[in-house]
Amino acid sequence: MAMSGPGSPASAPRRVRVRLHVDLGSPRRAGSALSALLPDNVQLPEGMEIEMRAERGGLVIEASHSVEGADTLAATLVEVLEHARLAGLVAPLGDGD
């Protein structure tokens, strides 16, 4: 018989987790991207978590939010990538042009 209670998987809130690796081609560019984007993560929507780090010449972004906040999570990740684009760190988002 499965038990449900505090701390059990059945009672844990369901979350959407996303891990992106943006290849920037060098540790120096990855560090610059991280420095440019970290200040933007000060005021996140309630319940959202974002971690960023430079790794293997790229920027790693790990984010999570409740299942109910999945749309907010997606919009926030698009905004982070748009800020990176504006900083000249990544190619434009869109249809592959």
How many helices (DSSP H) and strands (DSSP E) are in the chain?
2, 3
CA atoms of 81 and 25, how far apart (whole Å) = 16
Beta strands in the chain (DSSP E): 15-23, 49-55, 58-66
Q: Determine the Cα–Cα distance for residues 73 and 70; give it in Å rounded to an integer.
A: 5
> Where do we find the tokens 């059945």?
10
Q: What is the pLDDT along the chain (97 residues), one digit of tens a residue?
A: 344 445 555 666 799 999 999 888 889 888 888 888 887 666 888 889 999 999 988 889 999 999 999 999 999 899 888 887 777 666 555 544 4
Q: What is the pLDDT of residue 41?
A: 65
What domains lie within the chain, and their CATH numbers? 15-86 (3.30.310.50)
